[in-house]
Structure formats: C-alpha cells, structure tokens
A and B are shown apart, each in its own frame.
Chain A
C-alpha cells in the first residue's frame, strides 16, 4: 500500500513539474498547434471524433483472432491484431488479480439473467449492450460527438448504445451515486481538457479481453487538440484494489471528415433481447 501511494504522488509530482504542457509522447510528432478558440478563450473541441485503435478487443498487444463460431461466421466477426495502447505495454495487475480477468475472458459470451443477483456476474457488458463506461466508450469502434457551448457543461454523446455523459466544468463535489458512465468533472489545463471521473459502477469492463476494475476506479482523461483533425487522448487509470500503481493509455482521436457526417443510432438493445430473454419466452428456449 505504501508503495502504491508513493508512486501516485510521484506521478502527480512529475505531471505538475511538467506544467500545463503535458503532451503525450505520441503527440510530439505533431508540429506546434494552436486550436481555434471558443468565446471563453478555451480551445474548441466540438466535432465528431473516433479512435482507430483496436483497444476494444484488447488494450494490450493482441493477435488477430477468429470471431465466435467461425464454422458459420468465417472471417465475419474476427478481431484485428493490435499493439498495446498501455504505456509500458502491460496493465500492472496486483498478484492474484489476473485470475478474474482470465475468468472474465472465458465467460465473456455467457449470460445468465435468471436472478437479479447473478445478472452481472458473467458476460462482457458490450455483448449485452450496456453503457461501456470510461475510458472504454472512447475507443469503441464507433464515433462520438463533443458538444461544447457556453454553459458549464460539456456533453459527450457516443454512438454505441446512445450512451452519453455530462462533463461538469469546475464541479467541486463528489460523485453522488455510482453510474455506468461515471461522474465527470472537467477543468482546463492550458489547451487540455482534463476530466476527472469517479463514481463508476464496478460492472464495466475495459475490453473484450476481460480487463476490469473495482468500484474504486478513478480515471483522469486528457483531451488535447494537436491539429485541426486530431485530439490526443490520454487516460490515467488507478484502482488500488486491482492494480499495483496507476497506469496510462494514450492514442489520437481523429475528426470524422465525411461530408454531412452525423452521429447515427446504434441502439443495440433489440440485438440482445433474444440472447438475454429468449429462454423465458413461452415455449422455452427457441
């Protein structure tokens, strides 16, 4: 425990020492950039953005993999290979904590809603069309829109499951209640929108590989404009119940540029109802 606290302080100290211009390593390949401003002088982050990493399959290094039931699905549903978005490559699980990740993975496509108590025990929440939580919502293979106006609230609307979250700027209070998308408090550090998120439901996962957290999850996100078409995204993840130290992911977000592009609906609840509830229908399993 002491080690953990020390490392957290060390990390924070380093971030403060680097000042407001904490720019992720990958962003250093971008030339210096000054984003257009809103009336309040802060950068304008409005737009439709999307990550093009494959972290939703696995945050860490992963090979291409067949989808479920390749005997009927063939290459449909197969997962792409991808490089780790985790700084240093690996998630620093505490000894013993990896076991649960393995179980999650093995049971990622199982569901059992036969009792309220078992409801969330097995199965990837994405499989069941549950709100993906943070940071997973950011790297789902679907776009999201940032809506930034002149109120103390910034909205992020995600295409997946029509999930939304409100970022409360300069909000001082604690998360009032656990929620799937967490309680987001925002502030500006120079040109970076920093979002501190707590108050998570423990049931969200980070990826289809079963990476997980507890209800003590604390995520600090950083959105930094690095070109008219890119935001650098960085999230520091800490959870003393599961990891030995805070860890960080980062990747760019790309502005969607198609003419007349808009956020469409991915209301996936109807895609899950037969899987979840079909066995309780008249006549039993169909």
Chain B
C-alpha cells in the first residue's frame, strides 16, 4: 500500500537533468569530529552500534535558486526548512480533487523527521562537486540508451495505471530491494538502520527490506567476479575512527546501482564516522567513468533514535497486495479501451 509513493519519491530524488555549474574551489569540510575515544567496543573498534535514522528534507541536489549558497545562516535555514516542509507535507488541501485524493496517504504514514533540514544547514546532501549537483552524464553507449528508454517506457505504463506485467514495476515496488542497497538515501518513511558489530564485522540492518549487509573487516578478497548480488559485496576497514566500506559485485539488473550507472565500472565508497553520542556521519562517494564526468560525494547525518523506539519488521513481499491491484486494474482499463 505504501509502495506507489516510492516511485514518486524516486522521481523527486533522482532528477535526470544534471547541471553544469562551475565548481567552487573548496568542497565543504566534514564537521570536525570530536574525540570519539569513548565510543569503543570492548574489542577496541569504534562503536557504531545502535539504531540510526537518516530522514531529512535537505535535498540530494542543491535547488537551482541556491546555486551559490552551500551553507545557510540561521534565518535562511529557518526559511529553507519551512519552504521544504510546506512542499513535502501531505497534510494540505490545495491542488484540486485529484491531488487531494492522492494525499489521502497522508503524513500519518510518513516519517515526520523528513520535514527537517540537516543540522549543518547545508542546501544539498551532495558536498562534492561544490555546486551540490550530480555531475553531467557522459554519452551513454547505444545499448545503455536503449535500456534506459525501455525502462522509461515501463515507468510511463506504470504511471498511466497500465503496467503490462510485474517487470514494469521498479525493484522497490516488487519488494526485491529497497533502501537496503547502498548508497543509503533518505526516503519518506522507515529511515532506520540498525548497526550491529562483532569482532571483525560490522553488520547493517536497514529497515527496508530486512536484509543484513554483512561487512567483513578482515581484509579478505571480494567475491569472485562471476558472483554478483543485489546488494553487491562489501568489504570494510577502519581508518582511525572512520569505517570505510567498498562495495563491488553488483548485479547488472536495471535499478540495482544508482541512477542506472554501469555496474561493471561503478564504484561506491562509504564512510561511517561516530561524531557524538547521538550522531553518526554517513558519507558516500560514487564514481563511474562510463556514466558521470566525475566522482561525486554526499554526506548525510544519521541521528540515533530513542532506544525506546523499536525498529519493526518490514515484511514487503509477504503482503504485496498492490502488485495484483495494479495489474488487475490495468487489465480492467484495457478492457474498457483505455489502453491506447
């Protein structure tokens, strides 16, 4: 029931138009980490254990009107926050009947933390390039252009209420992967990540969809190149207080890696740093010379959730009634002659 909005969200988060503003000289610096010596596991690793939440209204890419502004002062930040909250909230009645009906799926179902901007008052989650935008695309191969077009056609059918079969749905709607595949980006709800640690391992349990991402820290090699996974294959190591994770071996299916980058040339590096008792800094860099003109980096603060607030099981496929609703609805529309 919640699935359809993932589509809308994906469209909002992943604009296809990349802007080519001239980069500023210096990328925003990571917040100075205080001494985290107190946050240690008994076996001496930095302690990241706990349930963290990454919800925010700060957009991945800097809005066009703020091209020159990477960090806001307090007054500007209050206005930015209010504007984003106004745009994002579903508890509003303007926009006409059709929009209103869609908003029946209202803020009761959403993570209210998604209406707040990040504490550092940045105007985008992307910190590099300095313009806060995803770098321009390189020319894609004809095969990739074809695949992109095929996927766009499937999305058009889905959005028109006329999916031909289950492959016209995105992976999140099919409950194959959701926010469990890196990079972790905020979404409208269920933004929790439970981090577990044991000697030699960090394991991340994202709320959607209940996959455990096991990160080995013992320096073992990656899986063989013919063994691909939906979540890839992660290896980590500590650099001081920071956990650095490199992930490879992603499956080639559409939608597995970010914005349909090329899985063969795609590389993602994530950095997890405990900043204080209630904050963890999450940063990721993606590079793919076959997709973007340069690597890019985003930073998202993770906030520890109240221990009294539990993370619940997110069963997705088990009751994915909407698959059948969408498909039978499409067949009914075809019968009525709406499929033209």
Q: Decide if B231 touches A265 in the complex (CB within 8 Å).
A: yes
In Å, the complex CA distance between A270 and B169 comes to: 12
Cβ of A9 under 8 Å from chain B: no
Take A116-B321, A163-B210 as given contacts and tell me if A149 and B197 are in contact as well, using a CB distance cutoff of 8 Å: yes
- B209 — which chain A residues lie within 8 A by C-beta? 162
Q: Decide if A150 touches B41 in the complex (CB within 8 Å).
A: yes
Take A260-B220, A280-B328, A281-B166 as given contacts and tell me if A179 and B315 are in contact as well, using a CB distance cutoff of 8 Å: yes
Cβ of B47 under 8 Å from chain A: yes
Cβ of A254 under 8 Å from chain B: no
Cβ of A269 under 8 Å from chain B: yes
A161 (CB) vs chain B CBs: closest residue: B317
- B213 to chain A minimum Cβ distance, whole angstroms, is 9
Interface residues of B in 122-175 (CB under 8 A from A): 164-166, 174-175
Take A265-B230, A277-B166 as given contacts and tell me if A282 and B334 are in contact as well, using a CB distance cutoff of 8 Å: yes
Stretch at the interface among A18-26, A88-96, A151-159, A225-233: A151-159
Chain A interface category by residue count: 35 or more
Stretch at the interface among B20-28, B30-38, B67-75, B306-314: B306-314
CB 8 Å contact bits of B73-116 with A (1 = contact, 0 = none): 00000000000000000000000000000000000000000000
- A154 — which chain B residues lie within 8 A by C-beta? 196
- Count of A-B residue pairs with CB < 8 Å: 135
- B176 — which chain A residues lie within 8 A by C-beta? 267, 269-270
Cβ of B239 under 8 Å from chain A: no
Q: Decide if B310 touches A265 in the complex (CB within 8 Å).
A: no
Take A147-B201, A150-B42, A269-B174 as given contacts and tell me if A179 and B166 are in contact as well, using a CB distance cutoff of 8 Å: no
Q: Decide if A282 touches B164 in the complex (CB within 8 Å).
A: yes
- B49 — which chain A residues lie within 8 A by C-beta? 149-151, 153
- A142 to chain B minimum Cβ distance, whole angstroms, is 14
Cβ of A169 under 8 Å from chain B: no
Cβ of B221 under 8 Å from chain A: yes
- B175 — which chain A residues lie within 8 A by C-beta? 269
Tell me whether chain B's interface is mostly helix, strand or loop, or mixed: loop
Take A119-B321, A278-B165 as given contacts and tell me if A147 and B334 are in contact as well, using a CB distance cutoff of 8 Å: no
Q: Decide if B331 touches A280 in the complex (CB within 8 Å).
A: yes
Cβ of A129 under 8 Å from chain B: yes
Cβ of A13 under 8 Å from chain B: no
- B170 to chain A minimum Cβ distance, whole angstroms, is 13
Take A38-B42, A281-B164, A281-B166 as given contacts and tell me if A180 and B174 are in contact as well, using a CB distance cutoff of 8 Å: no
- A181 — which chain B residues lie within 8 A by C-beta? 313
Take A114-B324, A147-B201, A277-B166 as given contacts and tell me if A130 and B210 are in contact as well, using a CB distance cutoff of 8 Å: no
Cβ of A176 under 8 Å from chain B: yes
- A150 — which chain B residues lie within 8 A by C-beta? 41-42, 47, 49, 197
- B321 — which chain A residues lie within 8 A by C-beta? 113, 116, 119
- B251 to chain A minimum Cβ distance, whole angstroms, is 9
In Å, the complex CA distance between A278 and B174 comes to: 13
CB 8 Å contact bits of B43-64 with A (1 = contact, 0 = none): 1000101100000000000000
Interface residues of B in 264-312 (CB under 8 A from A): 310-312
Cβ of A166 under 8 Å from chain B: yes
Most buried by B among A151, A163, A276: A151
Seen from chain A, the residues whose Cβ lies within 8 Å of a Cβ on chain B are 38-40, 46, 113-114, 116, 119, 125, 128-131, 145, 147-151, 153-155, 157, 162-166, 176-177, 179-181, 260, 262-265, 267, 269-270, 272-274, 276-278, 280-282
Top 8 A-B pairs ranked by shortest CB distance?
A39-B42, A157-B212, A281-B165, A280-B327, A179-B313, A162-B211, A282-B164, A151-B49
Seen from chain B, the residues whose Cβ lies within 8 Å of a Cβ on chain A are 41-43, 47, 49-50, 164-166, 174-177, 180, 194, 196-199, 201, 203, 205, 209-212, 214, 216, 220-221, 223, 227, 229-231, 310-313, 315, 317-319, 321, 323-324, 327-328, 330-331, 334
Can you offer 16 A-B residue contacts whose CB atoms are under 8 A? A113-B321, A130-B318, A145-B203, A147-B198, A147-B201, A147-B212, A164-B205, A180-B315, A180-B318, A181-B313, A262-B216, A267-B230, A277-B165, A277-B166, A278-B165, A282-B334
